[in-house]
Chains A and B, each alone.
Chain A
């Protein structure tokens, strides 16, 4: 297979999309915490920032009854991304928490990148919530390019640069959520469930994904 220099597909959105998935125990089948951060630089609905935290992924309740929320400064864009991408990712498919999460207003977002090896932090504030997503002990950057068959949504092509983090923490109003980082099979190799994802681009193939 040779490269096609100008991808004939439609660029849907691009930006940064790191995540942290935690389990109580390595042997657990399900994650106890699912979280994703978004810094979107281009989309049909403009630019924006967001984070999704599901600390009770199977609960049909939102914040503050359960720690299930999305915090964003562009709700329209994130409604589109949740429906078109997040809800189709294997770790989020069928999760009641995703349907019932509360939508909170984001007032500020601040990153503390450090040396990109020791610790990387995103801090989001709004709606009386302070969320800290912390990645620690990162590996080297790994460039990935993913076909429809290999992509998380099974509908899009995706390009990104991943950095695995050996450990991670998620704090909501100063309290760490339970669970720890695990490893999973991803892109044909064992990879951490905490990762930075820079320069991520999602493309709908010109055949509409019917590959």
Chain B
């Protein structure tokens, strides 16, 4: 719930949407990882970025399971890699982080309804099309998380979470292998497929 002081102390790092899908192998390792960013404000402008580790355990992915970042704002891609994705241990520590190919986005398409059954983001560029698909959506929840509750370990974060019970990552129409897992967020068990809307990352004054 909001605090009584209406202006939250700190500096906005970036704000926008940040859904993702993490798929796992039977042994618990990640088989594919994807984050999508639709950034409404950042110090380097607006933009849309898709990060895909089709082969998380190797620097170089394959044509069918590439390790890529597709974006319509290259400066924003770099900003997020340096200041955000690089602070998330699961992404930073994967070998794929060092082997990303950067592609220019030519189209971004949103479909479905996040308060209904199905929602998707499709981003295409330089001959590669990636669709993230979320289904069996739960009701939205507003989150207010402190630095010790977020992956970066340094931000206050506000967001609206919509968990999905089913999800898929399709590269040029073919599904990547793997299945959803569970994860804990703010003491609540949820899935590894999630929509995050109206998400704001704030650097608190004592961390600036």
- Give min CB distance, A137 to chain B, whole Å: 16
Beta-carbon nearest neighbor of A188 in chain B: B6
Q: Is B113 an interface residue (CB 8 A)?
A: yes
Interface residues of A in 117-161 (CB under 8 A from B): 140-147, 150, 157-159, 161
Asked if B12 contacts A42 (CB within 8 A), the reply is: no
Asked if A42 contacts B2 (CB within 8 A), the reply is: no
Q: Give Cα distance in the complex from A16 to B7, angstroms.
A: 18
Asked if B115 contacts A116 (CB within 8 A), the reply is: no
Q: Is B45 an interface residue (CB 8 A)?
A: yes
- Residues from chain B with a CB closer than 8 A to the CB of A199 are 15-16, 40, 158, 197-200
Known: A5-B149, A42-B197. A16 touches B40 (CB 8 A): yes
Asked if B12 contacts A7 (CB within 8 A), the reply is: no
Chain B: residues with Cβ within 8 Å of the partner, total of: 42
Q: Give Cα distance in the complex from A72 to B116, angstroms.
A: 21
Asked if A14 contacts B198 (CB within 8 A), the reply is: yes
Asked if B6 contacts A3 (CB within 8 A), the reply is: no
Beta-carbon nearest neighbor of A189 in chain B: B7
Q: Is B135 an interface residue (CB 8 A)?
A: no
Asked if B146 contacts A145 (CB within 8 A), the reply is: no
- B111-140: CB near A (< 8 Å → 1, else 0) gives 001111000000000000000000000011
Q: Is A44 an interface residue (CB 8 A)?
A: yes
- Residues from chain B with a CB closer than 8 A to the CB of A11 are 139-142, 160
Q: Is A46 an interface residue (CB 8 A)?
A: yes
Q: Is B8 an interface residue (CB 8 A)?
A: yes
Chain A: residues with Cβ within 8 Å of the partner, total of: 45
Interface centre among A6, A140, A163, by most chain B C-beta atoms within 10 angstroms, is A6
Q: Is A200 an interface residue (CB 8 A)?
A: yes
- Residues from chain A with a CB closer than 8 A to the CB of B110 are 47
- Residues from chain B with a CB closer than 8 A to the CB of A167 are none
Asked if A9 contacts B15 (CB within 8 A), the reply is: no
Q: Give Cα distance in the complex from A44 to B198, angstroms.
A: 16
Interface residues of B in 21-79 (CB under 8 A from A): 40-41, 45-46
Asked if B140 contacts A1 (CB within 8 A), the reply is: no
Q: Indicate which residue in A5, A16, A41, A163 contacts B144 across the interface (CB closer than 8 Å).
A: A5
- Residues from chain A with a CB closer than 8 A to the CB of B145 are 5
Known: A141-B15, A198-B16. A205 touches B197 (CB 8 A): no
Q: Is A115 an interface residue (CB 8 A)?
A: yes
- B4-21: CB near A (< 8 Å → 1, else 0) gives 101110111001110000
Q: Give Cα distance in the complex from A16 to B41, angstroms.
A: 11
Asked if A7 contacts B41 (CB within 8 A), the reply is: no
Known: A1-B3, A7-B142, A44-B115. A159 touches B158 (CB 8 A): yes
Asked if A187 contacts B198 (CB within 8 A), the reply is: no
**Can you list 27 contacts pairing A with B, beta carbon distance less than 8 Å?**
A3-B1, A3-B3, A5-B186, A9-B142, A14-B140, A14-B198, A41-B197, A42-B115, A47-B114, A113-B46, A114-B45, A116-B45, A116-B46, A141-B41, A143-B7, A143-B8, A143-B10, A143-B12, A144-B6, A145-B144, A147-B2, A150-B4, A161-B12, A188-B6, A198-B15, A201-B142, A201-B197
B-side residues, CB < 8 A to A, are 1-4, 6-8, 10-12, 15-17, 40-41, 45-46, 110, 113-116, 139-146, 149, 158, 160, 162, 186-188, 197-200, 202
A-side residues, CB < 8 A to B, are 1, 3-9, 11, 14-16, 41-44, 46-47, 113-116, 140-147, 150, 157-159, 161, 163, 187-189, 198-201, 203, 205
